[in-house]
Chains A and B, each alone.
Chain A
Amino acid sequence: MRTLSYLLRESWVNMRTNRTTTMVAILTTAFTLACVGIFLLLYVNLRAAAGWLQDDIKIMVYLDDRLGSDSVAEVEQQLRGDRAVASLLFISKEQALGEFKAQFPSESHLLEGLGQNPLPASFVVALSPSFRSPDAVKRWAERVRQVAGVSKVDYNQDWIDALATVIRSIELVAIGIGVILSAAAVTIIANTIRLTLFARRDEIAILRLIGATTSFIRIPYLLEGAVLGALGSALSLVMLKFMYELFRQQMRTTGRFAGLENLMTFFPPSICLALIAVGLGLGFAGSFVSIRRFGEAKA
């Protein structure tokens, strides 16, 4: 207990003695991790957005114009029997025309000139959650296209594919930047600890001579690195949260992307804790690297 309190006190004394270095290390670590955090936040939000879009996906199954009512009923029966289908809504040719007129009143004269209703009857299909992934939707649409009486199957595949590509790219960029900037954070903390080790090299030499074990000598510096990393990470989250709220505020006041600000999410508490733990780990690693290189701490 006495030893533990001594080691904690030594870590605290180290940080207090090198106050400026400690502050600079925490701030630079915070800025570095905040850069990683921005990509992570973007990634989390885009994934969530992709999830909503995927959940909201409606597939239009257009029917052949020559199809009689019996055949329509057959197609409906077949679709209803499909375990991928969650719900089904039939839109007759007349309903489709009505909707068109309601949505585009100024263009309705275009259809009147044709003499007959050119809009096909269709089914609006919502798929079960387990069939909503881009690949599953694609497979289902291809299968239904083969059904007799179906002329066309339509859904916003391009949009979903594009979003998936963007998400994958951001994921890769986030991983790349995350790795590079994490290495930078480790280096920053390693240098801070190296300065501390250098400043206290005489003390370390004395501790070695009076019989301190390697771990006794190392623990205060490892603790210091871990605390620097955790504080840097916590500060980066505070900075991110501030930027996030500012961004939402801007969206609200300018009125751009109205309503989208309510769909945006910040990291949940569990992820925040995990990120602080990551910072702690990076700090520990930085400290470990320094101690290994310094060599003085070796018994």
Chain B
Amino acid sequence: MIQLIHVSKQYDQRPALSDVTLEIGKGEFVLLMGPSGAGKSTLLRMLIRAERPDEGQIFVHQKNVTTLKPSDIPYLRRKVGTVFQDFRLLPKKSVFENVALPLLVQGISSADIRRKVTEALRAVGVEHKRDQLPAGLSTGEQQRVCIARAIVNGPVVLLADEPTGNLDPALTAEIIELFKLINARGTTVVVATHDPLVMAQVNRRVLTLSQGRLLPEHRGLA
């Protein structure tokens, strides 16, 4: 599903990723660990072509992301759901409208949008908040809405960049459970985190980055 071949990237002569080669299979749940500045966000941003590597090739869902035409980038992003640490919800739009956005940009019919958004909100447990604005939600609820927006399209891959960075341990556990559920439905999930609490809850494959280099693999602790 995801393949990186000798990928390197530098910012102002400082290496962000150095010769990273890895492969993530369909339906896997992978933790991408490492301290801040290790290159986790750079790697995730490259998977949706928000960044381009200086060297190497990246494949997502059999598409060479590195050579993708600019006009094809939106279509890649429709297959890859993204969850952010700061949620990135539109403050003036309701929960429903925020989650509907990825469907709206694809020109999906109103009836399908209503059905899919309702399903996504139900899956993350915030269906009852559908008409509220993000400001009226708790941080945990905002993160759930962000996850609902990422899965409403039925993406093949879900990328989460520090999804529990703003959450307390109880909420972190809830969000990780949610990711496990989404993964159980067949979506490949990649969670980038520096939070050891997350690793403690997930007995899955762990990729560790340190100063842009990939360290030997191990499994989570749960």
Contacts and interface: CB of A to CB of B under 8 A. Distances in A.
* Interface size of A as a range: 10 to 19
Interface in A1-35: 2-3, 6
A299 B73 CA distance: 7
Contact of B70 (A3, A202, A205, A299): A299
A210 B100 CA distance: 11
Most chain B C-beta atoms within 10 Å of own C-beta, residue among A203, A209, A212 = A209
A287 B77 CA distance: 26
A211 B106 contact: yes
Interface residues of B, number: 25
A295 to B, nearest CB: 12
B110 interface: yes
Interface string B107-119: 1111001000000
Contacts of B108: 2
Given A211-B75, A212-B74, A206 B88 contact: yes
Contacts of B113: 2
Interface string B8-29: 0000000000000000000000
Contacts of A6: 104
A298 interface: yes
B90 interface: yes
Nearest to B72: A299
A202 B93 CA distance: 13
A207 interface: yes
A214 interface: yes
A266 interface: no
Contacts of A206: 88, 90, 101
A288 to B, nearest CB: 17
B62 interface: no
Nearest to A2: B110
A53 B208 CA distance: 90
Interface string B40-63: 000000001010000000000000
A207 B48 contact: no
Interface in A186-238: 202-203, 205-214, 216
Interface of B: 48, 50, 70-71, 73-78, 82, 88, 90, 101-102, 104-110, 113, 149, 153
22 contacts: A2-B113, A3-B104, A6-B104, A203-B90, A206-B88, A206-B90, A207-B105, A208-B74, A209-B48, A209-B88, A210-B78, A210-B102, A211-B75, A211-B102, A211-B105, A211-B153, A212-B74, A213-B74, A214-B74, A216-B105, A299-B70, A299-B74
Given A209-B77, A209-B82, A211-B76, 6 more contacts: A2-B109, A3-B105, A210-B82, A210-B102, A211-B105, A213-B74
Interface of A: 2-3, 6, 202-203, 205-214, 216, 298-299
